[in-house]
Chains A and B, each alone.
Chain A
Amino acid sequence: MWRFTVLRVLQAIPVILTVITLTFFLIRAAPGGPFSSEKAVSPQVQAALEARYRLDQPILQQYFSYLADLAHGDLGPTFRYPGRTVDELIVDGLPITAELGFYALMIALVLGVTAGVVASLKPNTLQDYVPMGAAMVGICMPSFLLGPLLVLVFGIWLQWLPVSGWGSTPGDKLLPSITLGAMYAGYIARLSRAGMLEVLSQDYLRTARAKGLPEYVVILKHALRGGLFPVVSYLGPAFAYLLSGSFVVETIFQIPGLGRFYIQAAFNRDYTMILGTTVFLATLIVVFNLLSDIAATWLNPRLRYQYK
Chain B
Amino acid sequence: MTTADLHVIPRGVSLWQDAWTRLRKNKLAMAGLVFLLLVTLLCLLTPWLVAYGYEQQDLRLGAVPPSADHWLGTDTFGRDQLTRILYGGRMSLAVGFIATAVALLIGVTYGAIAGYAGGRIDNAMMRLVDMLYALPFMIFIILLMVVFGRNLLLLFLAIGAVEWLTMARIVRGQILSLRQQEFVEAAVSLGLGPVAIVWRHLIPNALGPVIVYTTLTIPNVMLLEALLSFLGLGVQAPAASWGLLISSGVETMEEYPWLLIFPGLTLTLSLFALNFLGDGLRDALDPRTAKD
B233 within 8 A of A: yes
CA distance A23 to B141 in the complex (A): 11
Least Cβ distance of B92 to chain A in Å? 12
- Contact flags (1/0) for B123-139 with A, using CB distance below 8 Å? 00001001101111011
Residue of A nearest to B291 (CB): A197
CA distance A26 to B231 in the complex (A): 21
Residue of A nearest to B148 (CB): A30
B50 within 8 A of A: no
Residue of B nearest to A283 (CB): B136
Query: Which B residues are CB-close (under 8 A) to A23?
Result: 143
B144 within 8 A of A: yes
Residue of B nearest to A19 (CB): B135
A244 within 8 A of B: yes
Are B257 and A152 in contact, CB atoms less than 8 angstroms apart?
A: yes
Among B70-78, B193-201, B260-268, which stretch is in contact with chain A? B260-268
Residue of B nearest to A278 (CB): B139
Are B232 and A148 in contact, CB atoms less than 8 angstroms apart?
A: no
Interface of A, secondary structure class, is helix
A145-B264, A197-B292 as given contacts; A15 in contact with B134, CB under 8 Å: yes
Residue of B nearest to A287 (CB): B134
- Range, interface on chain B: 35 or more
Query: Which B residues are CB-close (under 8 A) to A248?
Result: 227, 230-231
- Contact flags (1/0) for A5-26 with B, using CB distance below 8 Å? 0000001101100110011001
Are A156 and B254 in contact, CB atoms less than 8 angstroms apart?
A: yes
Least Cβ distance of B22 to chain A in Å? 16
B147 within 8 A of A: yes
Are A145 and B253 in contact, CB atoms less than 8 angstroms apart?
A: no
CA distance A248 to B233 in the complex (A): 12
Query: Which B residues are CB-close (under 8 A) to A141?
Result: 268
Name 25 interchain pairs, CB-CB below 8 A, sorted by A: A11-B131, A14-B131, A15-B134, A15-B135, A26-B143, A26-B147, A29-B147, A140-B219, A140-B268, A142-B267, A142-B268, A144-B227, A144-B230, A144-B247, A152-B253, A156-B254, A244-B139, A247-B142, A262-B139, A266-B145, A267-B146, A281-B136, A281-B139, A282-B135, A286-B134
Residues on B lying within 8 angstroms of A by beta carbon are 127, 130-131, 133-136, 138-140, 142-149, 219, 223, 226-227, 230-233, 243, 246-247, 249-250, 253-254, 257, 260, 264, 267-268, 271-272, 275-276, 291-292
Residues on A lying within 8 angstroms of B by beta carbon are 11-12, 14-15, 18-19, 22-23, 26-27, 29-31, 123-124, 136, 139-142, 144-145, 148-149, 151-152, 156, 194, 197-198, 240-241, 243-244, 247-248, 251-252, 262-263, 266-267, 269, 274, 278, 281-282, 285-286, 289
